[in-house]
Structure 1
Amino acid sequence: MNLRGAIAILKNELQRFFRTVLGSILSPVLTTSLYIVVFGAAIGGQMDPAQFGGSSYGAFIVPGLIMLTLLSESTSNASFGIYMPKFTGAIYELLSAPVGVAETIIGFVGAAAMKSLIIAVIILATARVFVDYSIAYPLLAMGYIVLVAAAFALFGFILGLWADGFEKLQIVPMLILMPLTFLGGTFYSIEMLAEPWRTVAQFNPIFYLINGLRWTFTGSSDVPIGIAFGFTLAFLVLCIGIIAWIFKTGWRLRE
């Protein structure tokens, strides 16, 4: 493995992030803070904690907001990171360099995942200012957050290879991921829904991700952590397989 090549790509992507660090961090942190203030502090004070497993409403929505940020930032960072070399033509230099699929994934996907993890940590610290929350299983929460960030950075990498215009980079995050996240239990428990919506919600894959992270925070959720972990791991493996196929066939790389 060409570790020097992987580290070079990783450093270049992280440098791009830190050159625009104010805008890259301020927007998601400010948006999440507004959600916490409006829903957690204002509306949450009128909610019955019994509806949320004994947790305050503010503490209940923190994992969902973290997941909302992870999905959008991991996907967007990775898709934009690989799309720009395609757009400028620099992708041909990468393809001709002694850098394999593994090094490329470590560089681009690793940088995108690290960016979203940095933002997630800042949001967790910011949420502490407004909400008194605790993490029941810190190590599991950390591992699960890293797994989700890596899986959706891989997904964003595929999206960046697929896109042939800037507008396509926004289609999946804005029109698919964000609505599914809001409908996946970010602000409510599935137990609060009446049928048939309770059953319909269980077909939303993001519902399992949010509840998996919520379990690591509160110790209770609508689904066991094993199901959420298995689903995320399977999605990660699937994305790796697709990326390997893309580099093997050259699909969208040499067009």
Structure 2
Amino acid sequence: MNFYAVRAIYLFELQRAWRTLLQTIATPVISTSLYFVVFGSAIGSSMAEVQGVSYAAFIVPGLIMMMLLTESTANASFGIYMPRYSGAIYEVLSAPVSALEILLGYVGAAASKSIVLGLLILLTARLFVDYQIAHPIWMGVFLVLTAVTFSLMGFIIGLWADGWEKLQIVPALIITPLAFLGGSFYSIEMLPPIWQKIALLNPVVYLISGFRWSFYGISDVNPLISLGMTLVFLAICSLIVRWIFKTGYRLKN
């Protein structure tokens, strides 16, 4: 394992985040804070508790997870697309660096930025609402697994996209709607029975449900099933990335 190469790619991607601090760090935190103000304070004050938890506290895990999905995907996709766009990726591929080391550098940096953002929003939420974390270790597990999984997905999107429009189409038309419909602002138990069954087809439901369980011990889906679905999604993304490096799809041609 060439740790120097991994460290070089990893630190370069993190430094890019510092150079664009307003866009990569401040904007997501401020945007999510506005959700707390609008949904937590304004709307939540007129709503009853959801599954025994105040509405303002109930949406905290959902908002963090929604941000985690979008930012992990965006960071990783942009991180690998820019070297392809500028041609710098060929220098990386011609260096004595393995596919695994490239992956650890780019995906590790994207996941790290998303985890830091998640923790910052968690701290910011304390300014607006009082919440508890019943299972902090499991909260960390779901946070890291989700960040890594969707960073892998973003890596795949960044390799697949051959233009700036394609780079945005999957997050805008698929990931963001799935996050909104995945129970970020509500429990699927509040839906009619038929829509509850349809909602279970949304993979984001399992991520948000498991993450919310780590906070309050309540969930729409068994936490073990949520963990299993996260691992399955991680495995699928890993297999796709392995195939990309094996075939050179959008990398060597």
Q: Which amino acid is 2:224 matched to?
A: G
Residue 110 (structure 1) aligns with: 108
- Tell me how far apart the structure 1 counterparts of residues 84 and 248 of structure 2 sit (CA, whole Å): 13
Which of 54, 57, 66 is residue 55 of structure 2 equivalent to?
57
TM-score (norm 2): 0.98
238-247 vs 129-138, which moves further: 238-247
- Tell me how far apart the structure 1 counterparts of residues 167 and 231 of structure 2 sit (CA, whole Å): 24
Q: Which amino acid is 1:253 matched to?
A: L
- Tell me how far apart the structure 2 counterparts of residues 39 and 145 of structure 1 sit (CA, whole Å): 23
Residue 23 (structure 1) aligns with: 23
Q: Which amino acid is 1:58 matched to?
A: A
Q: Which runs of 4+ in 1 moved over 6 A?
A: none
SS in structure 2 of the partner of residue 186 of structure 1: coil
- Tell me how far apart the structure 1 counterparts of residues 85 and 68 of structure 2 sit (CA, whole Å): 25
Residue 254 (structure 1) aligns with: 252
Deviation at 1:200, TM superposition (A): 1.1
Deviation at 1:17, TM superposition (A): 0.6
Per-residue CA deviations over 1:16-73 (Å, capped at 9, x if unaligned) read 1111112211211111111111111111112111xx2211101100000001110000
Residue 90 (structure 1) aligns with: 88
Residue 210 (structure 1) aligns with: 208
- Tell me how far apart the structure 1 counterparts of residues 99 and 23 of structure 2 sit (CA, whole Å): 31
* Gap runs ≥5 in structure 1: none
Residue 67 (structure 2) aligns with: 69
SS in structure 2 of the partner of residue 130 of structure 1: coil
Q: Which amino acid is 1:172 matched to?
A: V
Per-residue CA deviations over 1:119-169 (Å, capped at 9, x if unaligned) read 111101111000111111011101110010001001100110000001111
Which of 139, 142, 167 is residue 141 of structure 1 equivalent to?
139
Deviation at 1:195, TM superposition (A): 3.1
- Tell me how far apart the structure 2 counterparts of residues 248 and 134 of structure 1 sit (CA, whole Å): 45
Aligned length, in residue pairs: 253
- Tell me how far apart the structure 2 counterparts of residues 115 and 238 of structure 1 sit (CA, whole Å): 22
TM-score (norm 1): 0.97
- Tell me how far apart the structure 1 counterparts of residues 98 and 207 of structure 2 sit (CA, whole Å): 31
Residue 44 (structure 2) aligns with: 44
- Tell me how far apart the structure 1 counterparts of residues 143 and 17 of structure 2 sit (CA, whole Å): 20
- Tell me how far apart the structure 1 counterparts of residues 24 and 226 of structure 2 sit (CA, whole Å): 28
Q: Which amino acid is 1:112 matched to?
A: A
SS in structure 2 of the partner of residue 136 of structure 1: coil
Deviation at 1:99, TM superposition (A): 0.6
Residue pairs, 1:185-204, within 5 angstroms: 185-204=183-202
* Gap runs ≥5 in structure 2: none
- Tell me how far apart the structure 2 counterparts of residues 195 and 179 of structure 1 sit (CA, whole Å): 21
- Tell me how far apart the structure 2 counterparts of residues 92 and 46 of structure 1 sit (CA, whole Å): 56
- Tell me how far apart the structure 2 counterparts of residues 92 and 24 of structure 1 sit (CA, whole Å): 26
Residue 182 (structure 1) aligns with: 180
Q: Which amino acid is 2:41 matched to?
A: A
Q: Which amino acid is 1:197 matched to?
A: W
Per-residue CA deviations over 1:166-192 (Å, capped at 9, x if unaligned) read 111111111100111101111111111
SS in structure 1 of the partner of residue 96 of structure 2: coil
Which of 227, 234, 237 is residue 229 of structure 1 equivalent to?
227
- Tell me how far apart the structure 1 counterparts of residues 226 and 122 of structure 2 sit (CA, whole Å): 21
Deviation at 1:80, TM superposition (A): 0.4
